[in-house]
């Protein structure tokens, strides 16, 4: 059975649907949890309540584009055992219509945000001298060109290579770096698209071989595995948990 007893875990995007589920799952498995998000504590409250289902979690307000704020949030965690880069944005926009600002925002939050979290956490872990784990939330679309999310998919493909590059350099410090790559989750970013983009809702009816969108709990359990003893020999890997979406099942 997966246990995370005694670990101090930080999760960015922790006041979102997947992040809050991760917080609850990590807490249930015995970890101490700090959620980090750009939302004010008041805005974050509904997600913090969900995350606290199995015991209290700490909260720090920080934008992942703000390195000083992120450094401060992580420095308050002593020692830092695991850092999860999960903050993300995603907007469905046809390629021909993507503005430079929209392109840049996806890269800044999804990719550079993971760079900031990853480097800040890794420096802290090297100073601590006891190794650690870093996990990024990627996506099945880091490999598959799903329509109208070119900026998002490119940012997630970058996250995958960032993780692999970090894994190689940080192995000597016993810092393991992996990606959990969910499929189409009935929550957060994808739920927003299901509700606001009729063409998205139509497309997903045919692309999930396992038939149902993923739950946040399923993503959280996979992330927990990457923090656990069971993954102690994994680094630079992508744990793809997409219900088979990337098997390219198209409408018959
Ligand atoms: N929902 C899905 O189907 C799905 C599938 C694959 C991967 N993901 C990934 O899962 C992660 C979580 O997404 P979610 O679906 O829970 O969406 P969500 O919107 O519920 O959560 C994302 C959280 O990130 C926070 N955030 C955004 N920009 C930030 C910034 N600059 N600094 C700090 N926090 C910031 C938001 O405030 C929000 O709380 C994202 O990385 C997303 O790309 C989601």
pLDDT (tens digit per residue) in 122-174: 999 999 999 999 999 999 999 999 999 999 999 999 999 999 999 999 999 99
Residues linked to residue 128 through DSSP beta bridges, in sequence order: none
What is the Cα–Cα distance from 132 to 107, expressed in whole angstroms? 26
Of 18-32, 78-92, 194-208, the poorest mean pLDDT is in: 194-208
What's the pLDDT band for 252 if we cut at 50, 70, 90?
low
What is the Cα–Cα distance from 117 to 9, expressed in whole angstroms? 13
Q: Is the pLDDT of residue 197 over 90?
A: no
Residue with tokens 């504590």: 41
What's the pLDDT band for 203 if we cut at 50, 70, 90?
confident
What is the Cα–Cα distance from 155 to 137, expressed in whole angstroms? 11
Query: What's the 208 CA to ligand 1 centre distance in angstroms?
Result: 21
pTM of this prediction?
0.97
Phi/psi of residue 206, nearest 5 degrees? -115, -5
Catalytic positions, written as ranges: 152
- For residue 243 and ligand 1, the question of a CB distance below 6 A is answered with no
Q: Closest ligand 1 atom to the C-alpha of 216? A: 16
Question: What pLDDT is attached to residue 249?
Answer: 66
Mean pLDDT across the stretch 82-103?
Answer: 97
Q: Closest ligand 1 atom to the C-alpha of 137? A: 41
DSSP letter, residue 234: -
Residue with tokens 């990590």: 26
Q: For residue 60, is the peptide bond before it cis, meaning its omega torsion is within 30 degrees of 0?
A: no
Of 11-15, 66-70, 190-194, the poorest mean pLDDT is in: 190-194
**19, 56 Cβ separation under 8 angstroms:** no
Round the average pLDDT of the chain to a whole number and report it: 96
Give the architecture (CATH level 2) of 8-242: 3-Layer(aba) Sandwich (3.40)
């Amino acid at each position: 059975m997966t246990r995370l007893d005694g670990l101090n875990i930080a999760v960015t995007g922790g006041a979102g649907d997947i992040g809050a589920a991760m917080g609850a799952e990590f807490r249930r498995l015995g970890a101490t949890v700090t959620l980090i998000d750009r939302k004010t504590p008041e805005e974050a409250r509904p997600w913090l309540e969900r995350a606290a289902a199995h015991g209290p979690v700490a909260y720090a307000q920080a934008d992942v584009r703000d390195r000083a704020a992120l450094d401060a949030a992580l420095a308050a965690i002593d020692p830092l055992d695991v850092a999860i880069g999960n903050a993300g944005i995603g907007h469905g926009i046809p390629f021909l219509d993507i503005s430079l600002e929209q392109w840049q925002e996806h890269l800044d939050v999804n990719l550079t945000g993971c760079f900031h979290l990853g480097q800040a956490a890794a420096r802290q872990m090297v100073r601590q001298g006891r190794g650690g784990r870093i996990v990024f939330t990627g996506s099945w679309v880091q490999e598959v060109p799903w329509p109208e999310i070119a900026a998002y998919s490119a940012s997630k493909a970058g996250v995958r290579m960032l993780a692999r590059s970090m894994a190689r350099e940080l192995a000597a410090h016993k810092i393991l770096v992996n990606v959990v790559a969910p499929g189409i989750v009935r929550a957060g970013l994808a739920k927003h698209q299901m509700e606001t983009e009729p063409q998205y809702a139509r497309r997903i009816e045919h692309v999930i071989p396992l038939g149902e969108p993923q739950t946040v709990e399923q993503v959280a359990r996979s992330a927990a595995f990457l923090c656990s003893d069971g993954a102690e020999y994994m680094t630079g890997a992508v744990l793809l948990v997409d219900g088979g979406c990337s098997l390219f099942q198209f409408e018959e």
